[in-house]
Chain A
Amino acid sequence: METLLISLLNGLVYGMLLFMLASGLTLIFSMMGVLNFAHASIYMLGAYLAFTVSEYVGFFPALIVAPILCGLIGAAIEIWGLRRAHHNGHIAELLFTFGLVFIIQRVVQMTWGMLPMAYRVPPSLDFPLFVLYGSNFPAYRGFMLVISAAMLLGTWLLLKKTRVGLIIQAALSHPQMVSALGHNVPRVFTTVFAGGCVLAGLAGVIGGNYQTTEPGMADSMGPIVFVVVVFGGLGSLAGCFVASILMGMVQTFAVVIDYSIADLLRPLGLAISGDTLLTEVLTVPVARIGALLPFVMMVTILFFRPRGLMGTRDT
Chain B
Amino acid sequence: MRLVQGLLAAAVVFSAGIAVRPAVAAEDTIKVAYIDPFSGPFASGGDEFLKVFGYIVQKVNADGGALGRKFEVVPFDDKLQPAEALIALKNITDQNIPFVMQCTGSNVGSALVDGVSKHNARNPDNRILYLNCGALATELTNDLCDFWQFRFTGNVEMRAAARIKALPPEVKKVYLLNQDYLFGQSVQHDTKKWLEKLRPDIQIVGDELMPFGKVQDFSSYIAKIKASGAQSVITGNYNRDLNLLIKAAVDDGLNVRFDTYLAHLIGGPTAIGSAGEGRLSSVLEFHPNVPVELNKPDAEAFDNGWRANHDTDFSEVPFLTMFQMLARAIDKVGSTDPLKVALALEDMKANDLVGFPVWMRKEDHQISMPYYAAHFTKDVKYDSEKTGLGWKTDFIASAEDLTLPTTCKMKRPKS
Q: Spell out A's residues near B (CB within 8 Å).
A: 3, 6-7, 10-11, 13-14, 109-110, 113-118, 120, 128, 131, 134-136, 138, 140-141, 211-212, 214-216, 219-221, 224, 248, 251-253, 255-256, 287-292
Contact = CB atoms under 8 A, between A and B. Distances in A.
B19 interface: no
A273 B213 CA distance: 30
Given A114-B47, A219-B41, A291-B215, A136 B220 contact: no
Contact of B211 (A109, A253, A256, A290): A290
B403 interface: no
Contact of A255 (B41, B224, B251): B224
A13 B216 CA distance: 11
Interface stretch (B117-125, B141-149, B266-274, B288-296): B266-274
Contacts of A116: 240, 243, 267, 270-271
A10 B253 contact: no
Contact of A115 (B44, B224, B253, B273): B44
Nearest to A9: B219
Interface size class of B (residues with CB under 8 A): 35 or more
Nearest to B267: A115
A20 B217 CA distance: 16
A11 B267 CA distance: 28
Contact of A14 (B43, B180, B216, B224): B216
Identify whether the interface residues of B are mostly helix, strand, loop, or mixed.
Answer: helix
B223 interface: yes
A6 B243 contact: no
B211 A291 contact: yes
Nearest to A256: B220
A252 B217 contact: yes
Given A6-B223, A128-B253, A135-B253, A224 B267 contact: no
A289 B240 contact: no
Interface of B: 17-18, 41, 43-44, 47, 180, 208-211, 213-217, 219-224, 226-227, 239-240, 243-244, 247, 251-254, 266-267, 270-271, 273, 312, 387
Contacts of B251: 136, 138, 140-141
Contacts of B252: 135-136
A252 B219 contact: yes
B280 to A, nearest CB: 15
A239 to B, nearest CB: 21
A13 to B, nearest CB: 8
A7 B220 contact: yes
Given A3-B227, A135-B226, A212-B243, A114 B211 contact: no
B117 to A, nearest CB: 31
A115 to B, nearest CB: 4
Contacts of A13: 217
The CB with the most chain B CB atoms within 10 A, among A7, A140, A255, is that of A255
A10 B210 CA distance: 18
B387 A118 contact: yes
B270 A117 contact: yes
A212 B217 contact: no
B267 A10 contact: no
B240 A216 contact: yes
Contact of A256 (B223, B266, B273): B223
Contacts of B226: 134-135
B224 A256 contact: yes
A292 B270 contact: no
Contacts of B220: 3, 7, 10, 252-253, 255-256
25 contacts: A7-B220, A10-B219, A114-B47, A116-B240, A118-B273, A134-B226, A135-B223, A136-B253, A141-B251, A211-B216, A212-B240, A212-B271, A214-B240, A216-B41, A216-B239, A219-B41, A221-B216, A248-B217, A251-B215, A256-B220, A256-B223, A287-B208, A287-B210, A288-B208, A291-B214
A10 B223 CA distance: 11
A218 B18 CA distance: 21
Nearest to B254: A135
A164 to B, nearest CB: 33
A19 B244 CA distance: 20
Contact of A288 (B18, B209, B273): B209
A224 B252 CA distance: 25
Contact of A114 (B44, B247, B253): B44
Nearest to B274: A120
Contacts of A255: 210, 215, 220-221, 224
A289 B211 CA distance: 7
Contacts of B227: 3
B244 A212 contact: yes
Nearest to B268: A116
A115 B265 CA distance: 11
Nearest to A7: B220
B217 to A, nearest CB: 4
A215 B45 CA distance: 13
Contacts of A10: 217, 219-220
A5 to B, nearest CB: 10
Nearest to A15: B217
Contacts of A113: 44
Contacts of B217: 10-11, 13-14, 248, 251-252
Contacts of A134: 226, 253
The CB with the most chain A CB atoms within 10 A, among B216, B226, B271, is that of B216
Nearest to B44: A114
Nearest to B43: A114
Nearest to B209: A288
B44 to A, nearest CB: 3
Contact of B244 (A211, A248, A287): A211
Given A3-B227, A6-B223, A128-B253, A115 B240 contact: no
The CB with the most chain A CB atoms within 10 A, among B43, B219, B221, is that of B219
Nearest to B46: A114
A136 B337 CA distance: 62
Contacts of A252: 217, 219-220
